Structure 1
């Protein structure tokens, strides 16, 4: 773990820990067990399963709420899945389905011996402590996940805690984007321009049409954020750095509460899990999250479904 957390300052902890817990959280999008569990719960297709299981902690909310919380999806993408999802399965049913999916995926990826071992239990308790310390005022997805009852099985508890931390960070990131005047589509265009994800995959996955994407590129060029080739200008790159720094700062509370030694220990326990996911090929190289696997030494490959 020395090459990731050793010598890192508290200011760097949120970014470094995100790189370790995000791959473990993301199995709920990419693992085949997730699609199977969603189908068994009555969902009609990948997207309904995605929106239903991710939004389930919010209760049976309508498409406007989900669009707002998830931020970067075209409203039409959401409206094709919500509220119809609640006709086929209740949020409680879908919470149970995602736990089944995570259980099956973690057992397949890590093995029963690891899943039931003492290190997973230790990681679960540390992650749960961090997640319960997250400040969720104004952070709807983080708060909804934080309110979920503590799972009895350690590996499910670990995944739920990491999911709370992930959604807490995402809520903070959205707040930063809003503060910078960057709307949903502009956020995607800038993410692609920064080289974090493939622009076509971002646009198609979130159901934005090419004309809207091009219009947003033109707007960002007029604001001096993109050059004529669709790359970040110096001003755009500087703003990108500020956004990332502010996102990290907004995600610091859990790690400040956990403290240096416990944060480093959790990182040590998460690293082999993150490396296993990164090296499994489960997460595609062009994933919209921006995970590359390079820091962990993995090489994400193709997967049947892309994270929306």
Structure 2
């Protein structure tokens, strides 16, 4: 199993990555491309590194979304803008969002540039074998602007961890809905928010809950059983272990330095009011030192 490095870095880079989903600059960029509504923009912006991938491919990679949620957005999004156009707009938008939130002095500082370079180096060292979203992001050119470079490096690392997490879920026989129910039962996210935003019917949710109960992972009241809690802990530990490679390559001292540099940035995002209640990404904010 890995040490705590992968989880500690995730707790810091996840909020920064999440600007893609919640910053107003990004929503305006999606609208300017002609995207019809939030979800078309979401899927186009996140999936663009894969090219004009078929909706079934995106559904597979993103894992937790009902296929109908994806097919309402793709491939129609590519009739409004090409993946290359979306990637260019994405880079401009996250650069603008980070500059607005953190301030031009912070984004232009030597420390911020150091964080961008460390994140890019770690992302370049990530093994993307079997990790499709990470591979697509890792293949993108290095942005010249520090804010865009930092965000893109962190996003490659985030998708690397996410791809690893999906592999662990599949290995443990946890489908998309089962995975979300366990996440909600563990208190990491709001179950209603997950079900509604990922577009699953209540019947799908109930059927998955029944399967979890039959496996002895979920109690009748919807709480985790001891076996369910143990499985959740194992899934998280294996995910962290699979995400450790970039930090091993970077080295303990430089990984710790990146965590230190990301700490105030993560805190700025978490206290900005941009992140929605219900914690859809399941980030353990209480575990983040900067949140105390």
Matches within 5 A, 1:1-80: 11-80=3-72
Partner of 1:135: 127
1:205 to 178, 188, 197: 197
Moved over 4 A (4+): 296-299
Partner of 1:174: 166
- Structure with a larger share of its residues in helix: 2
1:150 to 142, 147, 157: 142
Offset, 1:257: 0.3
Matches within 5 A, 1:184-223: 184-223=176-215
Offset, 1:272: 0.7
CA distance in 2, matches of 1:92, 1:290: 30
**Segment drifting more, 276-285 vs 86-95:** 276-285
CA distance in 1, matches of 2:291, 2:160: 26
Is the Cα–Cα contact under 8 Å of residues 33 and 105 in structure 1 kept in the other structure? yes
SS of corresponding position for 1:280: coil
Offset, 1:107: 1.1
Is the Cα–Cα contact under 8 Å of residues 131 and 146 in structure 1 kept in the other structure? yes
Normalising to structure 2: TM-score of the pair?
Answer: 0.97
Tell me: CA distance 1:34–1:102, structure 2 relative to 1, closer, same or farther (3 Å). Answer: same
Partner of 2:243: 251
Unaligned runs of 5+ in 1: 1-8, 300-308
Normalising to structure 1: TM-score of the pair?
Answer: 0.92
- Is the aligned partner of 1:280 residue 2:277? no
SS of corresponding position for 2:174: coil
Unaligned runs of 5+ in 2: none
CA distance in 1, matches of 2:153, 2:170: 26
Is the Cα–Cα contact under 8 Å of residues 92 and 148 in structure 2 kept in the other structure? no
**Segment drifting more, 67-76 vs 277-286:** 277-286
Matches within 5 A, 1:66-105: 66-105=58-97
Tell me: CA distance 1:282–1:31, structure 2 relative to 1, closer, same or farther (3 Å). Answer: same
Residue-by-residue CA offset, 1:71-130 (whole Å, 9 max, x unaligned): 000000000000001000000111111112111211111001111111111001111110
CA distance in 2, matches of 1:298, 1:203: 27
Offset, 1:293: 3.1
